[in-house]
Amino acid sequence: VTYRVTCGAVDMQGGRGVMVSFEDITPVEQAGQMRRDFVANVSHELRTPLTALLGFIETLQGSARNDPQAQERFLGIMATEAGRMNRLVSDLLSLSRVEADERVRPRDSVDLASLVRQTEHSLAPLAADAGIVLSVQLPETPVSVPGDADQLRQVLTNLVENAIKYSGTGATVRISLSEPSFESRLRGQGVRIDVHDTGPGIDPVHLPRLTERFYRVDSHRSRELGGTGLGLAIVKHIINRHRGRLQIDSRVGVGTTFTVILPVDG
Ligand code: ADP
């Protein structure tokens, strides 16, 4: 707890006195600390690829000046590093957009089955490259929720991309959409989208912090796979905006299921 203590002299009946006031500024301090941590994280994340780029530029201008083979190899690495910076900036922009809009209620009617199909279609090549079997399970009747189609597409894309990225060759990734039954609707339950994988799973100690900005279970592996550490933070904010919930169930060595529950009545 942080207090701001203010002292001052005051005129009182019969003489002068001293006034001391204590003000709890813990929330202000915490917000300030979070902002400082965030700026430090962003700077670090940008500096890593930038340092690599500057190093390779120097080498291309110097020792590799007359070595076409080395030049080609270094240019390939530089393209990867520049791509990493590009993804980070895109994710930062997405995050600031969804954080700023958190109180706005999205109003379009979004057909979730077609969103799931679009996601499957766009990520099928990534799954095939990684040797992953991607499947979908849809209800027979259409399911719509009030929402922002682009943002809900981003939620699905981030979750399915993670499932593909972190599960090894031969794993299965399944997206299933289920309509709430009449009873669960009465209990205020909404539509459920499960993104299930048979990947490595996540140790329970990490689950409470997984949606924090830049939180990673294994930083090295995330970077190697091109992760920015912002994907789940973006997912969480978008779901909050839709007044929904995100549930994570995982067992090490068995797999992970991310469940998005969205209200059907806005
Ligand atoms: P990143 O860009 O690192 O993937 P995210 O915010 O999307 O960032 O995810 C945070 C961390 O959660 C990842 O670094 C990874 O350690 C873990 N993670 C996310 N999805 C999965 C999954 N399906 N299986 C295993 N680990 C996962």
Question: pLDDT (tens digit, 9 = 90+) per residue, 139-198?
Answer: 988 899 999 999 999 999 999 999 999 998 999 999 999 987 777 776 667 899 999 999
CA angle, residues 228, 233, 234, in degrees to nearest 5: 90
Ligand 1 geometric centre to CA of 216 (Å): 6
Alpha carbon nearest to ligand 1 atom 7, residue: 231
d(CA 116, CA 110) in angstroms, rounded, equals: 11
Alpha carbon nearest to ligand 1 atom 13, residue: 216
Backbone phi, then psi, for 213, in 5-degree steps? -65, 130
Residue 189 burial (CB count, 10 A):
15
Out of 95, 216, 224, 254, mutate this one to test ligand 1's pocket (max ligand atoms within 8 Å of CB): namely 216
Token duo for residue 237: 């904010």
Alpha carbon nearest to ligand 1 atom 14, residue: 216
Residues whose beta carbon lies within 6 Å of some atom of ligand 1: 158, 162-163, 166, 197, 199-200, 202, 210, 216-218, 222, 227-233, 256
Ligand 1 atom with least separation from CA of 91: 2
Tell me, what amino acid is at 208? P
Q: Tens digit of pLDDT for each residue in 212-242? A: 999 999 988 888 888 999 999 999 999 999 9
Residue 58 burial (CB count, 10 A):
11
Ligand 1 geometric centre to CA of 162 (Å): 6
Q: Tens digit of pLDDT for each residue in 60-116? A: 999 999 999 999 999 999 999 999 999 999 999 999 988 887 666 667 899 999 999
Residue 56 confidence (pLDDT) = 96
Mean pLDDT of 114-138: 97
Ligand 1 geometric centre to CA of 144 (Å): 28
